[in-house]
Structure 1
Amino acid sequence: MSERRRVVELLPYDLEWKEEFAKIKTMIDSYIGDLILRIEHVGSTSVEGLAAKPVIDIDVVIESYDIFPKIIECLEQEGYEHEGNLGVEGREVFKRRCDDGLMNYHLYVCPKDGKGYLEHIAFRDYLRENTKAREEYEVLKYKLAEAYRDDRDSYCNKKSEFVESILERTIYHQEKE
């Protein structure tokens, strides 16, 4: 279910997160698989060895916004509510209106060339490939979770500088060349 937790709770990496993602992916694919390009596991739970909040982040990748009205229609029929982009360009948020018996998750629909999707993939892949960066990020996350345990927004905002530094080394560095 995509219910948001108010308290910041970090857990050590859990191999079950991959299995939970696979279950959610299968369910989403059964709803809209014929309309999409792929379903990606993003966010900290997708990075082996990285502590994370126990919430799976999922990007459903579409060719373009041309198909988006049909995506909304299909997901609404399956119990999701479109919440808009919530201030992030290239990422549309869907919230589950009922308990589906699965681990908590965030569902995003993104065009393949959308900023939200490209940043999610660049950050995920960089952390997967760079042990030092992954360890630094984990230390930062634990420090922030302790300092902002009851303030999820501040916890997220304080991670932004680190995330932006990785994006500058990856996708935005390439644009400047």
Structure 2
Amino acid sequence: MPTPREILTVSDDAPPPGETPWVVPPVVQHIDVVPADPTWPARFEALAARLRSALGGRALAIDHVGSTSVPGLAAKPILDVDLIVADPADEEVWLPALESDCFVLTVREPWWQGHRMLRLDAPRAHLHVFGPDAAEPWRHRIFRDHLRRSDEDRALYAETKHEVAALSNAEGEQMMEYNRRKQDVIREIYARAFAAAGLR
């Protein structure tokens, strides 16, 4: 388990020289932020069952995170899921079973908490793979749970997403730029979420 300091520390480190996180290069796609869909939790449960069937005991934890995990929050219609495995770097243990089930390894960032991201087209999902000591899944859950409780921050985040999606679509930007445009508001909300969780 990460320390409180590790959970509080957000890194903007660039990839090491000569490295890229992209296994599949990104492309420009229209960014849709849609009203909350009450079927998203059930879709996650079906996807979690699919992951457990594929991985068995290799799936140490599976969590619904991101905006589709927050009731009433507008979101891109893509499920974000955190998967914890014993060692993300030991890909031969967990990756083949997922690739056999139509998941596509899209991002590999061994320098950043061992993170891998796989894309699934049906249902649309981004599967984030971390190890047991990674801090990022803890941040995801703290952020999610805070937004479930806070009407004010949930409304602020929804408004921000609509605004930056419109800007990114107008500029023909990739998802990375959309995420960067949200970053200041996300960190503002994170500060309140960490304080509510007793993290200083």
- The TM-score by the shorter chain falls in which range? 0.7 to 0.9
Q: Give the corresponding residue for 2:33.
A: 10
RMSD of aligned C-alpha atoms?
2.7
Residue of structure 1 aligned with 2:162, choices 134, 142, 161: 142
Give the helix-richer structure, 1 or 2.
Answer: 1
Which consecutive residues of structure 1, in runs of 5 or more, have no partner in the other structure? none
Mean alpha-carbon deviation: is it higher for 46-55 or for 18-27?
A: 18-27
**Equivalent of 1:95 in 106, 119, 131:** 119
| Cα drift, residue 72 of structure 1 | 2.2
How far has the Cα of 1:175 moved from its partner?
A: 5.3
Give the fraction of aligned pairs with identical amino acids, expressed as a percent. Answer: 26
Paired with 1:135 and 1:72, the residues of 2 have a C-alpha distance of 37
2:66 aligned partner: 43
The DSSP-based 3-state class of the residue aligned with 1:31 is helix
Q: In 2, distance between residues paired with 1:103 and 1:73? A: 19
Deviating above 6 A after TM superposition, structure 1's stretches of 4 or more consecutive aligned residues are none
SS at match of 1:39: strand
- Cα offset for 1:174? 5.2
CA contact (8 A) 2:36 2:68 kept: yes
Corresponding residue of 2:185:
162
Structure 1 residues 41, 131: closer, same or farther in 2, change over 3 A? same
TM-score, normalised via structure 1 length = 0.81
Gaps of 5+ in 2: 1-25
Q: Given that residues 111 and 117 in structure 1 are in contact (C-alpha distance below 8 angstroms), is that contact kept between their aligned partners in structure 2?
A: no
- CA–CA distance in 2 between the matches of 1:160 and 1:67? 31
**Corresponding residue for residue 12 of structure 2:** none
Counterpart residue number, 2:23: none
Count of residues paired in the alignment: 170
TM-score, length-normalised on structure 2?
0.73
Alignment of 1:69-148 (within 5 A): 69-82=92-105, 83-85=107-109, 88-96=112-120, 102-148=122-168
Deviation at 1:69, TM superposition (A): 4.2
Partner in structure 1 of residue 3 of structure 2: none
Give yes or no for the alignment of 1:52 onto 2:83: no
